[in-house]
């Protein structure tokens, strides 16, 4: 179901005490916008994050998972383990996982399938590199990332998919796609899904924008018709900035 979503990807930041104090501050200041609000702390702090949020509407989500149910995969975390601690949404395909940890479309497709099989929601990230945009290849790249990881899924699986378009050149760089560039790509993504599946599915999927979203630019980006919210990195590490971005939705 298409909903407005603002999600904070904390990446490898915030120790236990910092996690608890940021969540306490966020809960206290959380505006009621009707949007879903999610935070993705590091794995070691997920259990405590869930506990300390209690009945808050803020959802705790994971930054990654492995596709296997269990077994000899040193350093990895399974869907079962996440569900067991009440984390039922997972980010898959973040550009940092692709770039630094060698996650290919093939691996990502397995992760997506594994998560969906367990009834988890998947926040699937994808986006082009700067050279792709400069050479005008960005639509092709995005289409192939979606095709390779998602277009073999059953139509009904799309009810548990959230998309996050994150142009790599805008992540952590301070450089943001213009609201027009974001809208143009989001409309392309929706049309592509409509062509491969149907317009109903395309219109029901939430498509978030990510890449240097800040309080100063959030409102303009979120005002675009095909932008359903944001995946926020750096600015989600500060409660006031994150709350300002939530208000912008």
Q: How far apart are CA 79 and CA 111, in angstroms?
A: 9
- Catalytic member of 20, 103, 128, 166: 166
Please choose, out of 39-47, 59-67, 82-90, 165-173, the segment that lies near ligand PGA by the rule CB under 6 A.
165-173
Q: Angle, to 10 degrees, between the axis of helix 105-117 and the axis of helix 138-150?
A: 40
Q: For the chain, what is the radius of gyration of the CA atoms?
A: 17
Choice between 118 and 247, CB closer to ligand PGA? 247
94 included as an active-site residue: yes
Choice between 31 and 172, CB closer to ligand PGA? 172
Q: Which of 93, 127, 229, 234 is close enough to bind ligand PGA by CB under 6 A?
A: 234
**Nearest to 186, CA basis, from 169, 202, 170, 172:** 202
| Nearest residue to the partner ligand PGA, using Cβ | 233
Does 233 sit near ligand PGA (CB under 6 A)?
Answer: yes
Number of amino acids touching ligand PGA (CB under 6 A): 13
Least distance to ligand PGA, CB of residue 152, Å: 25
Does 212 sit near ligand PGA (CB under 6 A)?
Answer: yes
Does 167 sit near ligand PGA (CB under 6 A)?
Answer: no
Q: How far apart are CA 66 and CA 68, in angstroms?
A: 6
Q: Which of 114, 213, 244, 246 is close enough to bind ligand PGA by CB under 6 A?
A: 213
Q: Which of 4, 5, 6, 9 is close enough to bind ligand PGA by CB under 6 A?
A: 9
Tokens (6 digits) for 168 = 């790599």
Torsion of CA 50, 231, 15, 29, to 10 degrees: -70
Does 8 sit near ligand PGA (CB under 6 A)?
Answer: no
Q: How far apart are CA 233 and CA 7, in angstroms?
A: 9
Residues 6 or more apart whose Cβ sits within 8 Å of residue 32: none
66 included as an active-site residue: no
Q: Is the dihedral of CA 36, 37, 40, 44 positive or negative?
A: negative
The binding site for ligand PGA (CB under 6 A) comprises 9, 166, 171-172, 210-213, 231-235
Write out the catalytic residue numbers.
94, 166
């Amino acid at each position: 179901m298409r909903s407005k979503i603002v999600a904070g990807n904390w990446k490898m930041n915030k120790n236990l005490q910092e996690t608890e104090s940021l969540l306490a501050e966020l809960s206290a200041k959380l505006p009621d916008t009707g949007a879903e609000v999610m935070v993705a702390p590091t794995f070691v702090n997920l259990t405590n994050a869930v506990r300390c949020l209690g009945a808050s509407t803020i959802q705790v989500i994971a930054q990654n998972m492995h596709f296997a149910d269990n077994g000899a995969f040193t350093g990895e975390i399974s869907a079962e383990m996440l569900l067991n601690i009440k984390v039922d949404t997972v980010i898959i395909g973040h550009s940092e996982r692709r770039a630094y940890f060698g996650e290919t479309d093939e691996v990502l497709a397995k992760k997506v399938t594994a998560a969906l099989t367990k009834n988890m929601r998947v926040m699937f990230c994808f986006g082009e590199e700067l050279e792709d945009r400069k050479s005008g290849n960005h639509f092709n790249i995005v289409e192939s990332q979606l095709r390779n990881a998602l277009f073999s899924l059953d139509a009904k699986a799309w009810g548990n998919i959230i998309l996050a378009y994150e142009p790599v050149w805008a992540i952590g760089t301070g450089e943001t796609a213009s609201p027009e560039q974001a809208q143009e790509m989001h409309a392309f993504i929706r049309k592509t899904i409509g062509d491969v599946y149907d317009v109903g599915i395309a219109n029901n999927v939430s498509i978030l924008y990510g890449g240097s979203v800040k309080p100063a630019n959030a409102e303009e980006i979120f005002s675009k018709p095909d932008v359903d919210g944001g995946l926020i990195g750096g600015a989600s590490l500060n409660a006031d900035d994150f709350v300002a971005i939530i208000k912008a939705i």
